[in-house]
Amino acid sequence: MTRIESRTAITRTPQEVFDFLADTRHELAYNPVVVSAPRSQPPPSGLGHATCNR
């Protein structure tokens, strides 16, 4: 079995990374399966926040 490993250094604070990933509109940049990721609610995201990705 082939094993592939990769590491990426992210030069951002944990809060900046969370904010980027929590905004579903950015998912198009890193998830090739998603074709649409509109916001269903205005920011900020929090407990009970819903999204609908396609």
Confidence of residue 25 (pLDDT cuts 50, 70, 90): confident
32 within 8 A of 15, measured Cβ to Cβ: no
Q: Which of 11, 14, 43, 39 is nearest to 26 (CA)?
A: 39
Residue 19 has pLDDT above 90, yes or no: no
Q: Which residue has the higher pLDDT, 24 or 54?
A: 24
Residue 54 has pLDDT above 70, yes or no: no
Residue 17 CA from chain centroid, whole number: 9
Q: Which residue has the higher pLDDT, 13 or 34?
A: 13
How much is the pLDDT for 9?
92
How much is the pLDDT for 11?
95
Q: What is the percent of the chain with per-residue pLDDT over 90, rounded to a whole number?
A: 13
Domain residue ranges in the chain = 12-42+50-54
